[in-house]
Amino acid sequence: MVLSNSLFDSSVLGTSVASMVPDNHKIRPLELTDYHKGYLECLSNLTVVGNVTEQMFGESFEEMQRTGCYFVVVVEDLALKKVVASGTLVVEQKILRGCGRVGHIEDIVVAKGQQGKRFGFTIVKQLQEIANATGCYKSILDCDAANAPFYEKCGMENKGVQMAMYAPGTASKKSSL
């Protein structure tokens, strides 16, 4: 049972990043109604979304809301009533580092035709603020080498190599091209 239309309480957003979005835009938590505001279309600019029905979206939204460790932030164009950018922070509870928390930044995407408005930068900054507000001792992300300069401009450092193992029958990004 969905507790609220918003994935998480917007008070965790703070106020410093809100001023970074242009007029007639709003940065906010993912909402259940974003299914009808082009959220999946926006995500498709990043990778394969698949055939996600409204029911599937609602069930995933509810699970993410229930766990309380998912913070999906979107930028909405208020005039168009469309999601034009998004990013996710997943907060992982650890045992090490005194039972600390790590923020995993995922799925940074800006819709086609919306690049150059600093939405990606704004989303990353907002996710970093949420990570700080939720007690994360660090935030990490994986990206293609070509995107590393962008994330460095967001204040992140290159700290290593990404490795992946895909489930049997699941195509990797390279093999699906």
176 pLDDT higher than 60:
no
89 pLDDT higher than 80:
yes
Sign of CA pseudo-dihedral 32, 38, 44, 45: negative
Answer with the residue of higher pLDDT: 3 or 107.
107
Residue with tokens 């600390």: 100
Beta-sheet strands, E only, within 22-172 = 25-29, 70-77, 82-93, 101-110, 136-140
CA atoms within 13 A on the CB side of 41: 12
State the pTM of this model: 0.91
107 pLDDT higher than 90:
yes
pLDDT range class, residue 96, cuts 50, 70, 90 = very high
pLDDT, tens digit, for every residue of 114-164?
999 999 999 999 999 999 999 999 999 999 889 999 999 999 999 888 888
